[in-house]
Amino acid sequence: MTGGNEVTDPAVQALISAINDGDRAAFFDALAPGATMSDDGTDRDLASWADRELFSAHGHLDVAEASDGGRSLIASVRNDTYGEMRTWWAFTVSGGKVSRFETGQA
């Protein structure tokens, strides 16, 4: 598949790179002020969720499918807590930053 299955949105690219690099500062820099998120349909505190699920657990995200420039993803996520799982992600981008993301098991 060409073109449509790539993450081309710069804000989403920055967020994924920060996750995979374990770079907490870059992760929060890629987010808009007041950004929000939900996990499996429940809104969570973004900072504590990111620390628990991504940074302290060495999270890594491998994109399997992308649409809308990467604002909608199916990805394999690995971390030290849960191992590997197939997940879906939806990103809202405002002003070049991610203002909200939603994720859950796919």
Structural domain includes residue 21? yes
Structural domain includes residue 16? yes
Average pLDDT on 49-67 reads: 96
Structural domain includes residue 47? yes
Structural domain includes residue 26? yes
**Distance in angstroms (rounded) separating the CA atoms of residues 105 and 103:** 7
**Distance in angstroms (rounded) separating the CA atoms of residues 92 and 12:** 9
Report if pTM > 0.85.
Answer: yes
Note the Cα 39 to chain centre separation in Å. 11
13-44 tens-digit pLDDT: 999 999 999 999 999 999 999 999 999 999 99
Structural domain includes residue 2? no
**Distance in angstroms (rounded) separating the CA atoms of residues 87 and 75:** 5
Query: Structural domain of residue 57, as residue ranges?
Result: 10-105
Using DSSP's 3-state secondary structure scheme, residue 27 falls into helix
- Residue percentage of the chain with pLDDT more than 70: 96
User: How many folded domains does the chain comprise?
Assistant: 1
Structural domain includes residue 86? yes
36-53 tens-digit pLDDT: 999 999 999 999 999 999
